[in-house]
Amino acid sequence: MSSSSIRPDCRTHVAVVLGTRPELIKMGPVIQALQKSAARTTLINTGQHSDLLTPLFDLFQIHPDHDLAVMQAGQSLNQLGARLQERLDTVLATEQPDTVLVQGDTASALMGGLTAFNRHIPVGHVEAGLRSGIADNPFPEEMNRRLVGRLATWHYASTERNRQTLLAEGIDDSQIFVTGNPVIDALFQTRDHTRPGPAMQQVRERVGDHKIVLVTTHRRENQSATMRQHLRSLRQFVESRPDICVVFPVHPSPSVKDAAAAELADIDRIHLIDPMGYSDFVHLLSDAWMVVSDSGGIQEEATALGKPMLVLRANTERPEAVESGIARLAGDTQIDLTRLLSEAAADEAWFAHCQGGSPVFGDGTAARQITELVIHGRRLAAVA
């Protein structure tokens, strides 16, 4: 059945706007729950990460009703924003949804929210209230999420801290709901209901008995010299520990590929691999002994799974991961990372503490809670 089919008991028409890998991973369970509900659901893919999204649509068994194909080589953020706004406006004018849902902090989220607001369509924001507190770091994501926070009518916050942030910004309590983050729904669902594919099986063969340090890095603020320093520190660490290996799915961004090739190519026990499909990545994360990453979503996933994590950033907009005792900030200098890696690897108490993970980012029911709130404006009486 097409996701835009109208059911006989249809009441609400919900349009979901997304365009990047993390948005689809986080919204996949929400879209599934909406499609099982009485709502009519229209999925609008802006196409920011088109290659990475196709297998995810298959995994979640959802498919876009509109594909806006907004990416063009070398376009500025403003050109992207203008293209998004123009194409989204045409789709919203045709579809006339009752609500538009956006997630997080991307250009798709910002322009989805603004275009809906300009058409008097209420906006629901998933992962609301997340802040670094620094207007231009991460750039432009921090400003995007602040602006979506002003545009939205309904705020679906992952944590109590996110709710408090929104209250401090003047959002009325009645418009904020702490639901947890649906990334945890996606994580548990994928871990429990998929099997490792060929790419993951190949990784297991290459890794053998070594403990896996799972590495990802791609954020703009870490590119160039900083990223190369991080990678050099990792290489020194692996060279000093024969029981350990690094598995690094290299992000397709040219600067990440260049840095990985320059610093880590052909080094024993360092496995540079292509970006993994999400379900294989979840199995890799489950196998990992330690995680080293600058990703936002992976901080949430590692915390839920109880994987000791060094965050390749000087600060995090997810302090709950650090407060849970599972993540540690690894700063941005080579000295810090080399020292932290060695200290971390020797810290048995830390590994013991992390076992079992923390539910601070959600318990796996966020998608059902958000769906119920979108459709009925109220919470589930009880989540089965």
Catalytic site positions: 105, 127, 141, 218, 220, 251
**With CB under 6 A, what is the number of residues at the site for ligand UDP?**
16
Does 298 sit near ligand UDP (CB under 6 A)? yes
Residue 189 is encoded by which pair of tokens?
């669902």
Q: Does 313 bind ligand UDP (CB under 6 A)?
A: no
Which amino acid belongs to residue 98? D
What amino acid occupies position 66? H
* Residue selected from 3, 17, 18, 21 as contacting ligand UDP according to rule CB under 6 A: 21
Q: Residue 138, preceding bond cis, omega within 30 degrees?
A: yes
Q: Is 64 in the site for ligand UDP (CB under 6 A)?
A: no
Q: Is 366 exposed, middle or buried (0-12, 13-18, 19+ CB in 10 A)?
A: buried
Residue of 81, 97, 112, 275 interacting with ligand UDP (CB under 6 A): 275
Residue 178 or 288 having the CB closest to ligand UDP: 288
Q: Is 384 exposed, middle or buried (0-12, 13-18, 19+ CB in 10 A)?
A: exposed
- String marking each residue 237-266 x if it binds ligand UDP according to CB under 6 A: ------------x-----------------
Relative orientation angle of helices 334-346 and 225-240, to the nearest 10 degrees: 30
In the complex with ligand UDP, the residue whose CB is nearer, 175 or 223, is 223
Nearest to 33 by CA among 382, 377, 379, 375: 375
Contact 226, 250 (CB under 8 A): no
Q: Which positions from 134 through 193 interact with ligand UDP, judged by CB under 6 A?
A: 183
CB 68 within 8 A of CB 47: yes
Q: How far apart are CA 128 and CA 103, in angstroms?
A: 8
The yes or no reply on residue 362 touching ligand UDP (CB under 6 A) is no
Q: Pick the binder of ligand UDP from 29, 297, 308, 364 (CB under 6 A).
A: 297
Asked if residue 364 binds ligand UDP (CB under 6 A), the reply is: no
- Tell me the residue length of the chain: 384
- Residue whose CB is less far from ligand UDP, 21 or 131: 21
Among positions 127, 301, 320, 332, the unique one binding ligand UDP when judged by CB under 6 A: 301
In the complex, minimum distance from the CB of residue 138 to ligand UDP, in angstroms, rounded to a whole number: 9
327 binds ligand UDP per the rule CB under 6 A: no
Give least dist CB 319 to ligand UDP, A: 16
Minimum CB–partner distance for residue 90 and ligand UDP (Å): 27
Cα(first)–Cα(last) distance of the chain, in Å?
26
The rounded distance, in Å, linking the Cα atoms of 41 and 261 is 43
- Which residues lie near ligand UDP (CB under 6 A)? 21-22, 25, 183, 216, 218, 249, 275-276, 278, 281, 295-298, 301
